Structure 1
Amino acid sequence: MELENEISSSNNSSAGSREYKVVMLGAGGVGKSAMTMQFISHRFPDYHDPTIEDAYKTQVRIDDEPAYLDILDTAGQAEFTAMRDQYMRGGEGFIICYSITDRQSFQEAAEFKELIYCVRHTYDIPLVLVGNKTDLEEFRQVSTEEGMNLAREYSCSFFETSAALRFYIDDVFHGLVREIRRKESSLTVAEKKMKRKDSLWRKLKGSLRKKKESTT
């Protein structure tokens, strides 16, 4: 299923917005689909089959710049792990989710960065860690401190959210886009430095060649 809001379907080609490929990762039942639906359409789904993988598209403005998000909501069930390599190879940024009411889902979340590394061979990937279901505080099994510590280990932003109440949902997606932009910006600076070094090297070699020619 692909849900595409009116703005993205009508304006994407004309707006020429940068497209961001976002992948939702996490165990089944942690609320990945509910978070995505709340972000896209501001509604909480009554029912979602956790074995279905969905793609969602929307266009938003983040820091006064247009952003076209292509969001892949992956299934959390083990039988779908064979497709994870494809997600992790194609994604530009990842939202790793767990439920604060489910310690097992937190333990699974702690393994995703290594799984991404196995496919991408780099830890320098834009990530956001999310502990969902804060509306079920009385059933909490994972403390906020544990989430913060894992995010520190991942060197990424951390949010505790409630998809049911739409708490901090926009912050998660906006935060990931900012991370992707930050990475691109740093790469651009690095590329400019490399070009500058390359230019200096060529000039140095050129002057040495001229010097050699003048002495012969």
Structure 2
Amino acid sequence: MSTNAAGDGTIQTLKIVVVGGGGVGKSAITIQFIQSCFVAEYDPTIEDSYTKQCVIDNIVAKLDILDTAGQDEFNAMREQYMRTGDGFLLVYSLTNRTSFEEIIKFHKQILRVKDRDEYPMILVANKADLNDQRAVSSSEAQELGKQLKVEVIEASAKTRMNVDQSFHQLVRTIRKFQAEENPPMLQRPSKSSSDKQSCCALL
């Protein structure tokens, strides 16, 4: 099956926003996805943006990825990102219970800013390589996922486990959401209008 772009030949750009508490590994996951390297030191992010083009399910996607600040003092700035995002990675550290509990707050904030009941999001449990320090069980995460109606993926920025899958699955969720929001019924009117033009030409 050949690689293709959107129906009109352009490559669709999707804005992905990575949100979560401070120190959960949002930057580490993003940099691992973009550059295939692990950043060990923690340097609090204010805002970093990256672009990556990839092929997901034989369709080219250009991803504009925004890595946001986890600290509460950047709350107003975060709302601005949320307005423009097409989909969100909700990241917590499975070694940090507080970061898991904060997910509900981020989820609520996104839905409030978007004024929606549901929106494309994936819940990412980072630091799966530190299973011996786990503070949140897989079953608790799945339970929260059901409650929030989002898919849950356990990942490790350090070992690259499920990093690509997290972003790719979010893209699939965005595409499904957008297809349901804008069903492809636009082709018929454009066809009839072109028919009208050809009729005019005949007259």
TM range (shorter): 0.7 to 0.9
Which residue of 71, 94, 100 corresponds with 2:88?
A: 94
Contact 1:23 1:93 in 2 (8 A): yes
* DSSP 3-state at the match of 1:179: helix
- Report the Cα distance in structure 2 between the residues aligned to 1:187 and 1:119, rounded to whole angstroms: 18
Aligned to 2:178: 184
Number of equivalences:
180
Q: Are 1:41 and 2:35 an aligned pair?
A: yes
- Report the Cα distance in structure 1 between the residues aligned to 2:111 and 2:61, rounded to whole angstroms: 26
Aligned to 2:147: 153
* DSSP 3-state at the match of 1:23: strand
Aligned to 1:77: 71
Contact 1:113 1:123 in 2 (8 A): no
Deviations 1:2-35 (A, max 9, x none): xxxxxxxxxxxxx831100000000011011110
Structure 1's 46 and 100: CA in aligned 2 closer, same or farther, altered over 3 A?
Answer: closer
Q: Displacement, 1:111?
A: 1.6
TM-score by length of 1: 0.79
Aligned to 1:21: 15
Q: Are 1:163 and 2:157 an aligned pair?
A: yes
Percentage identity across paired residues of the two chains: 45
Q: In structure 2, what residue type is equivalent to 1:18?
A: Q
- Report the Cα distance in structure 2 between the residues aligned to 1:50 and 1:128, rounded to whole angstroms: 22
Aligned-residue Cα RMSD (Å) equals: 1.8
Q: Displacement, 1:154?
A: 1.4
Q: In structure 1, what residue type is equivalent to 2:80?
A: Q
Q: Report runs of 4+ in structure 1 exceeding 2 Å deviation.
A: none
Contact 2:27 2:45 in 1 (8 A): no
Q: Are 1:50 and 2:44 an aligned pair?
A: yes
Aligned to 2:132: 138
Q: Displacement, 1:47?
A: 2.6
Decide which structure has greater helix share. 1
- Report the Cα distance in structure 2 between the residues aligned to 1:192 and 1:167, rounded to whole angstroms: 39
